[in-house]
Every structure is written in structure tokens, then in C-alpha cells.
Amino acid sequence: MQTALSVEEARARILAAIHPVGPEQLCLDAACGRVLTREVCALQPSPPFTNSAMDGYAFRWDEVSPGCELPVQGTQLAGPAEPQTLLPGHARKVMTGAPVPAGADTVVRREDTEERPESVVLQVLPSAGRGANVRYKGESFAAGEVLLAAGTRLNAAAISLAASQGCAVLHVRRAPRVAVISTGDELVELGNQPGFGQIINSSAHAVASLIRQAGGSARILPIAPDQAAGCRDIFLSAVEDADMLVSLGGVSMGDADIVRDVVAELAGGRVDFWKVRIKPGKPLAFGEVGAPSGRRAVFFGLPGNPLSSIVTFYQFVRPALLKAQGLTELLLPRLTARLLAPARGPRGRRAYLVGRLAWQAGEAVFRPHTDQSSGGLLAAAHSNALGIVEEGVGSLEAGQEISVESLPLAT
């Protein structure tokens, strides 16, 4: 009989078996959320030319005093322009983003001036002094600087930064391909009417959503039956086109729990461990699946209970998916919160309780839901965090501190 691993032991063994997937080139607009495999460097300085940060008038700081009147040397809108030099003792009207003429060093806001037909009165000078409201060429970065290092996960600002340098194509890690297989003779596909004794295959849709949210590409395969031959066929069809295979259900102690045997019998299939001291989710298998073609994929056998599959996904599959994309921050962010209601855990297993994390008077507070049953989804559907009751703690009372992992916002 295998001894059950702690969450950390199980996760360490999983992560040791995960390697980054290969690179691909993507057009910029498809790359948000992906991880760079090549750095992005500045092709030009930023800003590329000295320009105004305000609608106003450009002038020489040394030539003015509050209330002075300057003749206006034309208007410059943002757009293509001939470079200009400011005449001595003049001001040039400039709009936001327009080039500031050579010689000018400061811009006064239009609302701090009195505009006359040929001249402008500088009623209030900018309090920031010389250089106010001017964005100098190269003040953000110089040409050649590394803007985004390899390993950076691209957010919207990073996409914009790359676009500003004319990068239309980015080198990123491809999305790990994950096959999702639900097992169980009681399951029917979404869209069918379950008969007596049947339920809809709901967990596959949760797990596919979580895979996509973690940067993977998910493919839901047909439901595998609780008979070895049919189950094996579905597993084999999955291996050909997957980096990872996540099965749901069939890894516990029941008469129909055949998944571990099916995996072990596949060419090169292996189950490394299948018990973890976690609630919900104790039966959790990890290993490798193989096909006669020689193709191999990492194997996760998650429990089928809807809440168990979600909690174990967050603890084990998500970190693996992030590592496969070349990331190094793999765990959910943790913080300490004050409990608003008692939290109970089982003996000898770490409990993850679904609940709501919020802020009250500047303090993080966590309220575990009253229903923590592993088959229940109603509570999880209204949760934004997992509260942790360590093995050996048993229970925490309202008012005590609890470690909480905040769940990523759905995208």
C-alpha cells in the first residue's frame, strides 16, 4: 500500500518531471498571456522625438517671468512635421504629442495662459519649473535597451510596448496541449438529458476552463467508460496530440476505479504516486502515459468530484502548466487573513476550504463557505479564495488567522 504524500512532496515530484514546451512565433495580437522565448529590444529611443505632454505653449524658461507676453511662432499639432527651432523670445503653440521646437525647454498649459491674436500671456508658470510638460527624446529608454526579457509573461502593457517598437511577431512558448478525459459510466455529455443514475460531465468543463486560464490549450475528449478496453482506447487517442493528459475520476478505491491500471498497461505508462494528504482530493495520481508510436505525455489522474478536481487542479496541474510555459512563479499568491467563521479540517490531511476573501477596515478577512462537500459546486462558484487548515491543526475558530490562497480572476 502506497503511503500518501504531503502536498509539497507531491508538487515537488510533479514539477521535477515537467519541462518547458517548445517555442513558436505568434502575431502580436495573439500573444497576450504567452511567455517570451526571445527578448524584445528597443529599436528606437522612447520618446522617439521631444514632444509636449500637454496642450499649451513651448518656450525657453530663461526668457520668461509670470505675466509676460510672447509672440506666437505658429501652431504644431501632433502629426508629421518639419523640425522647427524656436525664435528667441517666442512661444510656439503645441498640442499633446506634438514635437517641441529645438531651443524650447518648457511647456505651459493652455489653461494657464491668455491667448491673444498674435501672442500669448503666460499668466501662471508651471510649478515644476524648467522642463515641465516636456517629454524628452530617449528619457524612457534608449535604442538597444532590453525592454522585455525572455521568460516574461506578456500582459497588455507589454504587448503595447512591443508594438511601439514595431514588433509585429513575437517569439513565445507555445501553449501546452492538454487532453481532458472524464471517466465514468454515469456520465453523459452536456446537451444530453441524463437518465436515472446519470449525471452530466461537468468537471471536464471546469478543468478545461482552468487549463485555458493557466495558458494551456484544452481539448475535451469523449467520456471514457469504466471498462478497461474502452478506457484505454480513449487514453491512447489522447496521447498522440497532448503534452499532458488530465483524467477525471476513476482513481480511487471503487470497483470501477480502473484508471491507474489502464495507465500502467499503456506502452511506457507509469503511475508514480496516487495518494496525497489533501482534502478534497486524496486520490490523485501522477505519472506518464505512452503510445505505441513512442509519444509520451505527463499524466494527472484527478478525482472526479467537481470541487476535488478544481482544488487539485490549482495545487498540482496549474503549477505544472506554468512551468511548462517557462515561468518560475508557480504558486497561487498566499496571504494571511482573519477568519470570520470557524474552519474545520480532517485529521492527517491538509484542507483547502472554498470561501470569500475580502477587505474590512484595511484587514484581509476570509469566510469559508458552510458547504465544503467535495461534490458541491454552489459554494465554489461563489468563491474567490482557498483557506488552508494544515494537517494536525484540526480546526480554527472565528477571529484566528488563516493562510489563504487567492484564486486568479476569471478572464
The answer for 379, left when phi > 0, alpha when psi is -120 to 50, beta otherwise, is alpha
Strand order in the sheet with 283-290: 217-220, 177-182, 244-248, 296-302, 283-290, 270-275
# residues near ligand AMP by CB under 6 A: 19
Read off the amino acid at residue 397.
Answer: E
Q: What is the DSSP string of 92-108?
A: EEE-TTSBPPBT--EEE
Span interacting with ligand AMP, options 102-110, 133-141, 156-164, 198-206, rule CB under 6 A: 198-206
Q: How many residues does the chain have?
A: 411
Choose, by CB under 5 A, the member of 216, 249, 281, 319 that binds Mg ion: 249
Does 312 sit near ligand AMP (CB under 6 A)? no
Torsion of CA 370, 372, 376, 379, to 10 degrees: 50
Choose, by CB under 6 A, the member of 203, 247, 312, 372 that binds ligand AMP: 203
Span interacting with ligand AMP, options 87-95, 209-217, 297-305, 354-362, rule CB under 6 A: 297-305
Residue nearest to ligand AMP (CB): 304
Least separation in angstroms between CB 402 and ligand AMP: 27
Does 225 sit near Mg ion (CB under 5 A)? no
Listed in sequence order, the residues at least 6 apart from 80 whose beta carbon sits closer than 8 Å to its beta carbon are none
Coil vs helix vs strand at 228 = helix
What cell numbers appear for 63 in the block? Answer: 526668457
What cell numbers appear for 142 in the block? Answer: 534608449
Span interacting with ligand AMP, options 150-158, 166-174, 304-312, 349-357, rule CB under 6 A: 304-312
Residue 18 CA to residue 14 CA, distance in Å, equals 7
Span interacting with Mg ion, options 84-92, 126-134, 156-164, 179-187, rule CB under 5 A: 179-187
Does 303 sit near Mg ion (CB under 5 A)? no
Does 184 sit near Mg ion (CB under 5 A)? yes
Residue 204: contacted member of ligand AMP, Mg ion, none (CB under 5 to 8 Å, by partner type): ligand AMP
Q: Enumerate residues 214-253 that contact ligand AMP by CB under 6 A.
A: 248-250, 252
Does 372 sit near ligand AMP (CB under 6 A)? no
Choose, by CB under 6 A, the member of 5, 147, 181, 204 that binds ligand AMP: 204
Does 201 sit near ligand AMP (CB under 6 A)? yes
Coil vs helix vs strand at 366 = strand
The answer for 70, left when phi > 0, alpha when psi is -120 to 50, beta otherwise, is beta
Span interacting with ligand AMP, options 126-134, 158-166, 179-187, 362-370, rule CB under 6 A: 179-187
Read off the amino acid at residue 223.
Answer: I
Q: Which residue has the cell 472524464?
A: 182
Listed in sequence order, the residues at least 6 apart from 161 whose beta carbon sits closer than 8 Å to its beta carbon are 40, 147, 148
Q: Which residue has the cell 484544452?
A: 218
Residue 110 CA to residue 343 CA, distance in Å, equals 60
Does 6 sit near ligand AMP (CB under 6 A)? no
Q: Which is nearer to ligand AMP, 201 or 315 (CB)?
A: 201
Does 326 sit near ligand AMP (CB under 6 A)? no
Q: Are 363 and 347 in contact (CB under 8 A)?
A: no
Q: Which residue has the cell 526668457?
A: 63
Cα-only R_g, the chain: 30
Does 113 sit near ligand AMP (CB under 6 A)? no
Q: What is the DSSP string of 302-356?
A: E-SSHHHHHHHIIIIIHHHHHHHTT-S--SPPEEEEEESS-EE--TTSEEEEEEE
Span interacting with Mg ion, options 156-164, 178-186, 203-211, 392-400, rule CB under 5 A: 178-186
Q: Which is nearer to ligand AMP, 190 or 331 (CB)?
A: 190
Residue 56: contacted member of Mg ion, ligand AMP, none (CB under 5 to 8 Å, by partner type): none
Least separation in angstroms between CB 226 and ligand AMP: 8
Residue 352 CA to residue 132 CA, distance in Å, equals 53
Does 209 sit near ligand AMP (CB under 6 A)? no
Q: Which is nearer to ligand AMP, 226 or 288 (CB)?
A: 226
Choose, by CB under 5 A, the member of 215, 216, 250, 280 that binds Mg ion: 250
Span interacting with Mg ion, options 12-20, 35-43, 201-209, 242-250, rule CB under 5 A: 242-250
Least separation in angstroms between CB 273 and Mg ion: 20
Least separation in angstroms between CB 255 and Mg ion: 10
The footprint of Mg ion (CB under 5 A) covers 184, 249-250
